[in-house]
Amino acid sequence: MQLVQQIIFILFSAFAIWFFVRNVKKIRRNILLGRDIEHEDNKAERWKNVLLLALGQKKMFKYPLVAVMHFVIYAGFIIINLEILEIILDGIFGTHRLFAPTLGPLYSWLINAFEILAFFVLAACVIFLVRRNVIKVNRLNRKELDGWPKTDANLILITEIVLMTLFITMNAADKALQLQHAANYHETASFFVSGLITPLFAEMNTATLVIIERTCWWLHIIGVLAFLNYLPYSKHLHIILAFPNTYYGSTEPMGKFTNMKEIQTEVLYSMQPELAPQGEQPAMKFGAKDVPDLSWKNLLDAYSCTECGRCTAACPANITGKKLNPRKIMMDTRDRTEEIGRNINKNGSFINDSKTLLHDYITEEELRACTTCQACVEECPVSISPLDIIVQLRRHLIMEESSAPQEWNVMFSNVENNFAPWKFSPDDRDKWAEEIRDSEG
């Protein structure tokens, strides 16, 4: 019977890992649909950002109470899963608490630490559920989250609660079996949290306790592997992608825009025609209309977005009632990328579906409302830049579709002719100074 359990465990685990890797490869392919760009400068600063932003969650601590609860869940995800290593080895080798004899008293100390952390994770998840569904915090209940996004968030929190409950219940039943001196159940010190419910199992017979303990053990590991394979379908993929996304985040000063090489080249050729290449040249593309026109970092941003809404809550355009919603920009970009990915899966290569990110997902009205103030970029905990996507889509509108409000066109014309946004000749630009001088004289 034990051998059969080991075989089932190995096969199930192998399938879960294979399926996860398969889905991760698809996501990687989708991200690489974007243009190639270099992000290899300032490596020391990039690693610093990983430590402070992704690992230390520095930006989250602008809101201390929420940050502490989020950090507890995050730490629980990383630290408690160290205990999964023992479960996996027990499943493979048919042992029980493999590390207990080797670690001795340290083993009980570690399990107690895991249990205390599990309790706080459970409590934090309950509070977050209440915030989302009872208190209904505004940024967590916006229109763009209706349907699957809201269900996804609740499902993850409920899954965490179930996994932590299974972990604590398993330990309580295990301790009860130790007190009955059941075979193969190693003696350990008392467990702080599960020890509170161990008395509930005191009157049960050994066979019943074994069933409870084994059921919790199996459900816990199945739940963890199921959670692993749920991540590629969930916004919670940010648990993994936050690290590379933070590393590849911009290290340029806030507010610095990237010049378009194509425009710089055209200006150079107009000033020095002799440098222009001879013969017919391929048409240049300006800005971005669809996902492949964006960079792979933009698409990594989209997959890294946790839909927390801090960007939208800080956006002055959104606050004043305009349609711009930075969170929706990221969600739309991810949805369009996924749609293209499904198209490729179905047809082997992308077949034109007559849709584009611009117009079909993101409207001109949304893009024109952006003031490029960088508030969304500053607020994001993991270095996502909705602004970069907005600017690229807006460049396409103006330079490829000649679509801009009349007020913008007047400004563009003035810049072109007068080298300033105002309709004054360069020769007249310093007249205000002359007038002041004359009045003072």
Rounded Cα distance, 59 and 64, in Å:
10
Name which of 173, 197, 300, 309 is nearest 247 in CA terms: 300
pLDDT at 286: 87
Matching CATH number, 261-427, of 3.30.450, 1.10.8, 1.10.1060, 3.40.1130: 1.10.1060
pLDDT greater at residue 365 or residue 103: 365
As a whole-number percent, the residues of the chain with pLDDT over 70 amount to 98
The domain at 2-31+63-247 falls in which architecture?
Up-down Bundle (1.20)
Identity of residue 125: C
Of 4-8, 405-409, 412-416, 428-432, the range with the lowest mean pLDDT is 428-432
Band of the pLDDT at 441, cuts 50, 70, 90?
low
Residues 34 and 298 sit within 8 Å (Cβ to Cβ): yes
* Model confidence pLDDT, tens digit, residues 164-204: 999 999 999 999 999 998 888 878 888 889 999 999 998 89
Residues of the chain with CATH 1.10.1060: 261-427
Residues 305 and 334 sit within 8 Å (Cβ to Cβ): yes
**In degrees rounded to 5, what are phi and psi of residue 295?**
-85, 160
CA dihedral over 312, 314, 316, 319, signed as positive or negative: positive
pLDDT at 278: 78
Residues of the chain with CATH 1.20.950: 2-31+63-247
Tokens of 327: 């969170």
For 218-245, what is the mean pLDDT? 93
pLDDT at 1: 66
